[in-house]
Structure 1
Amino acid sequence: MESTGLHWLARAASDPEAFRLQWERTGFGLALLPAGRRWDVLSVPGRLGRPALDILASGLCGPVLADGGDEHIGFLVPVGTAARWIGTGVRCAGEGTWIAVPHPSRRNRGLRWLVPPDGSGRLNDPVMLELALHEAVARLTEE
């Protein structure tokens, strides 16, 4: 299978090829995929998520989602992270949950990729994300 963001996302579906073909054929911008199969998602308030992404962007970071108003920023992290994450105001999506994801190569006015999946399988490192969130909080308190 070709290694693109679309193919990588489709691998989370129970039938990746059928899912990918349907997504391409229907032209819908959004799809529901199960979290906890290939990745978990940590969703943080935008006022922390945006600065944390800026901090992470100085290195390599994995896929990151944002809602239409940047109210929430979702970081795709390794499976199991959601079950172990402790943090006020952080919504965790892991095994047994579903998330909406935008098509990686189509523009969407609402939910969109700030850092789209590139097909490599790279995810956000939870330790680096936690450090970036701490730094974002520190910056906010200084302002």
Structure 2
Amino acid sequence: MATHSHQSRPPRATWARRLSRPALFAAGQDWDAIRVEAAIAVRAVRFLEASGTPVGPVLHDQGNGQAYFLTPPGTAQRWRQEQSLALGEGAWVVLAPPGWEDGLLRWVRDPADGPAHTAADDLTIALTVATGGESCR
């Protein structure tokens, strides 16, 4: 896992400050998204939290049973993790405001509670653990 200093706070999700209801956002600008099955996402988040690794926003779309980890822009170009889909430039994702739990969307990790992104290397390790070691990296 990457080492993180507790002295400097990672940047927050700036897109979330101006959001009052769910809206469609273009990936590849403020963030890329990694889509995985919600059950895998929950296991990955638990692993990251247990290891003390900062976790960025993770949105659960209960309508399709998928979760979306927000990662740094550019992650999608080099992402090679099985059982996941990288969404970067040209992709669109519906995001909800912080604290949103209405309808089909809810935050597993709220954008107001942590850093703006989950580091790609940390997420790769967490997803490998959460899927029982199935990875193509």
The answer, yes or no, to whether TM exceeds 0.5 is yes
**Equivalent-residue separation in structure 2 for 1:121 and 1:53 (angstroms):** 14
Q: Against the structure 1 CA distance between its residues 67 and 4, is the aligned structure 2 distance closer, same or farther, given a 3 Å change threshold?
A: same
Name whichever of 130-139 and 29-38 sits farther off: 130-139
1:113 aligns to what SS in structure 2?
strand
Q: Against the structure 1 CA distance between its residues 34 and 47, is the aligned structure 2 distance closer, same or farther, given a 3 Å change threshold?
A: same
Q: 1:40 pairs with 25, 28, 32, which one?
A: 32
1:138 aligns to what SS in structure 2?
coil
Contact 1:52 1:132 (8 Å CA) reproduced: yes
Contact 1:65 1:112 (8 Å CA) reproduced: yes
**Equivalent-residue separation in structure 2 for 1:109 and 1:92 (angstroms):** 25
Q: Which amino acid aligns with 2:118?
A: N
Q: Against the structure 1 CA distance between its residues 131 and 70, is the aligned structure 2 distance closer, same or farther, given a 3 Å change threshold?
A: farther
Q: Which residue of 2 aligns with 1:112?
A: 106
**Based on CA coordinates, which of the two structures has the bigger radius of gyration?**
1
Instruction: Give the structure-1-normalised TM-score.
Output: 0.73
**Equivalent-residue separation in structure 1 for 2:105 and 2:68 (angstroms):** 10
Report how many residues are paired.
Answer: 122
Structure 1 stretches of 5 or more lacking a match?
12-19
Q: Which residue of 1 aligns with 2:79?
A: 85
Q: Root-mean-square deviation (CA), in Å?
A: 2.6
Instruction: Give the structure-2-normalised TM-score.
Output: 0.75
Q: 2:15 pairs with 9, 12, 19, which one?
A: 9
> Alignment identity in percent?
33
Please state which structure has a larger fraction of its residues in helix.
1
Deviation track 1:80-106 (CA, whole Å, cap 9, x = no partner) reads 101110122312111122110012133
1:41 aligns to what SS in structure 2?
strand
Deviation track 1:60-113 (CA, whole Å, cap 9, x = no partner) reads 211111111682121000001011101223121111221100121332231221
**Equivalent-residue separation in structure 2 for 1:104 and 1:53 (angstroms):** 18
